[in-house]
Amino acid sequence: MAAIDLSAQPPAVSEPAPSTVHAMPPPDPTLAWRAAFSADGASLRYAERAGHGIAVVSPLSQGTTLAGLERAFGQRSFLDAAGAGHQLVLYDQRGAGGSADNEPQGWERRAADLWAVADAAGVERAVLYGVFDAGHTIAHAAALQPGRVLGLIFNRVPLAFAGAPGDSGTVPLAELERWFPHDPAAPLGDPLALMAALGINEADATALIDAWRPTVTPEALAAQETLLRAADLRPLLPALRAPALFVAPKRRPALQRWAEAGAELLPGARLVRPENAGETLGAMHAFLTVVGAASGRLGSRLPAALSDTLSDSRRSVGALRRIVVPVDPNVASGRAVELACRLGEAQKAEIVLVHVVSVPHVLPLDHPLPEAARRGERALTLGQVIAAEHGLPCRTRLLQERSPAGGIVRLAREEQADLVVMALGERAPGEEDRISNTAQEVLRRAPCEVLIDRRTAR
């Protein structure tokens, strides 16, 4: 693959690019700054926006701070749109913004920082989103605590920052030295050159750098340069197992090659080649939707084991497609029908109502019992009304059997029922905990799950 020449990129286009926005936008009131503390006691500034979806945690990339995002309209709008509907957590990485630190840095420390911020925000598991050097941070965070990673999104992330000419998916060393020149007259290097290479428009880039420059020291920048020079994702990516998305912008061949090289190394990664910011947002939202569906709405609030248990429980209830409910014309049976409808409402389960007329052994099985039949029809009518209120399909069966339990079990087998919901009628004083012989026999012989509703005096 040819050398990546970032100096030959087309004119910078923001993602998204505002038309002619020059006025500084007001701060986003939904992103309040907070402090998290790393294992070594360092303070890390983060901002959080609440959402009902899964969490997205994003360390901010080189030259970007939370204060800068308040001024860079295009970048802030893109991140707001990317995290719409989800819990979005952004934070300043060590050495800049509100996370000042002049000490030597390491990727393991940066990875631990990410999880310290996630802990402070109450996030158990999350999708991690990284741009440029932040892509290395999220990869190392995924390696450090793989069980907490729901997914990874890499946007404009090179495999290494100091590659040799022609090295696939890396930044040539000459470009890195252009961003970090050792010039006493410019101790903070040329961060605008980096922003232009990443496709940030001039207005946004200037706003980001103006906020970043006062917060970073030459010592902190030197520590970051040392960290980037040693960075290389190629040994790490093949070991990651989380679902991943690589964004390869079509209009920027160099950045596209970075994504292609990364996607080849990470198992199960998807590569998208968007034409513009709108397509990028669409791909990210589709990815978050798929991950969220797999983990469940509370996937970011629960550990993996509990989340899996929750998902299994939801799937188990969702599998109830046909529910048999024995009924009598009383409140207890009405409650049983109501309970069955609520269990089956989401998946539009079919409710099969049954009333069994018990025929004494001294009579033929088909002997007419009009009063008992009328009682059963009243019970079935009541159940039909309840099922109709829930909009569920409902069928009724009036059976004459020697044993009520035998009739219920036979019907459950014929209907291939997934569940039988039974109600225990009013019990005599002192016998509230006694289960009827009919219920005991159904529990023992039924070919499916049996749920018994025992109504107490309360």
- C-alpha dihedral, 251 to 257 to 260 to 265, nearest 10°: -160
Predicted confidence at residue 288, as pLDDT, reads: 93
The answer to which of 9-18, 169-178, 265-274 has the lowest mean pLDDT is 9-18
Clarify whether residues 276 and 334 are in a common domain.
no
Q: Which of 254, 281, 311 is the last residue of a domain?
A: 311
Return d(Cα 144, Cα 153) in angstroms, integer: 17
Q: Are 439 and 424 in contact (CB under 8 A)?
A: yes
Alpha helices (H) along 121-249 = 133-144, 173-179, 191-197, 202-212, 218-229
DSSP bridge partners of 352: 324, 395
The last residue of a domain, from among 289, 311, 333: 311
Say whether pLDDT at 65 is over 60: yes
Residue 1 placed within a domain: no
Instruction: Give the CATH number of the domain where residue 385 resides.
Output: 3.40.50.620
Same domain assignment for residues 88 and 19: yes
Pick from 293, 403, 371, 380: nearest CA to 328: 380
Residue 112 lies in a domain: yes
Residues 301 and 353 in one domain: no
Question: What pLDDT is attached to residue 311?
Answer: 54
Place 407 in a pLDDT band, splitting at 50, 70 and 90: very high
Residue 271 has pLDDT above 90, yes or no: yes
Asked whether residue 448 is assigned to any structural domain, the reply reads yes
pLDDT of 170-199, one tens digit each? 888 777 777 776 777 777 778 888 898 888
Query: Residue 16 pLDDT more than 50?
Result: no
Cα-trace Rg, the chain:
32
Tokens of 10: 């087309």
φ/ψ region of 391 (left if φ > 0, alpha if ψ in -120 to 50, else beta) reads left
Residues 6+ apart with CB under 8 A from 444: none
**Pair 384, 430 in one domain:** yes
Q: What is the pLDDT averaged over residues 156-168?
A: 84
**Beta bridge pairs of residue 261:** none
The number of folded domains in the chain is 2
pLDDT of residue 273: 94
Same domain, 372 and 231: no
| Dist. CA 343–CA 327, nearest whole Å | 17
Residue 282 placed within a domain: yes
How many Å apart are CA 79 and CA 47, to the nearest integer? 12
Pairing of strands 149-155, 244-247: parallel
Examine the pLDDT at 342 and tell me if it is beyond 80. yes
pLDDT surpasses 70 at 152:
yes
* Tokens describing residue 4: 């990546």
The percent of residues above 70 in pLDDT, for the chain, comes to: 86
The answer on 144 and 293 residing in a single domain is: yes
Cis peptide before 253 (omega within 30 of 0): no
Question: Can you tell me the mean pLDDT for 329-346?
Answer: 89
In a domain, 335, yes or no: yes
Domain enclosing residue 328, as ranges: 321-454
pLDDT at 31: 61
- Is 130 a residue whose pLDDT tops 50? yes
CA 216 → CA 17, 24, 239, 278, distances in Å? Answer: 27, 22, 34, 33
**Are residue 246 and residue 343 in the same domain, yes or no?**
no
The rounded distance, in Å, linking the Cα atoms of 40 and 351 is 59
Q: Are residues 344 and 418 in the same domain?
A: yes
Does residue 225 lie in a domain region? yes
**How many residues are listed for the chain in this entry?**
458
Closest CA to 48 of 79, 9, 26: 79
- Which CATH number is 274's domain given? 3.40.50.1820
Q: Is the pLDDT at 3 greater than 50, yes or no? A: no
Is the predicted pLDDT of residue 25 greater than 60, yes or no?
no
Residues 300 and 148: their CA atoms lie apart, in Å, by 9
Task: Give the pLDDT of residue 18.
Answer: 37
368 and 232 in one domain?
no
54, 295 Cβ separation under 8 angstroms = yes
β-bridge partners, 401: 358
Predicted TM-score (pTM) of the model is 0.66
- Round to whole Å and give the CA distance between 335 and 426: 13
Q: What is the pLDDT of residue 9?
A: 40
316 pLDDT band, cuts 50/70/90, is low
Q: Do both 367 and 265 map to the same domain?
A: no
Specify the pLDDT at position 426. Answer: 63
The answer as to whether 284 is a domain residue is yes
Amino acid 309: pLDDT: 53
**Could you tell me if 32 and 150 lie in one domain?**
yes
CB 89 within 8 A of CB 58: yes
Residues 26 and 153 in one domain: yes
pLDDT tens-digit profile of 29-49? 446 789 999 988 899 999 999
CB-based contacts of 360: which residues, under 8 Å, 6+ apart? none
In a domain, 316, yes or no: no
Q: For 233-243, how does the pLDDT look when each residue is reduced to its tens digit (9 = 90+)?
A: 999 999 999 99
Examine the fold and report which residue of 280, 311, 342 is the final residue of a domain before the chain moves on: 311
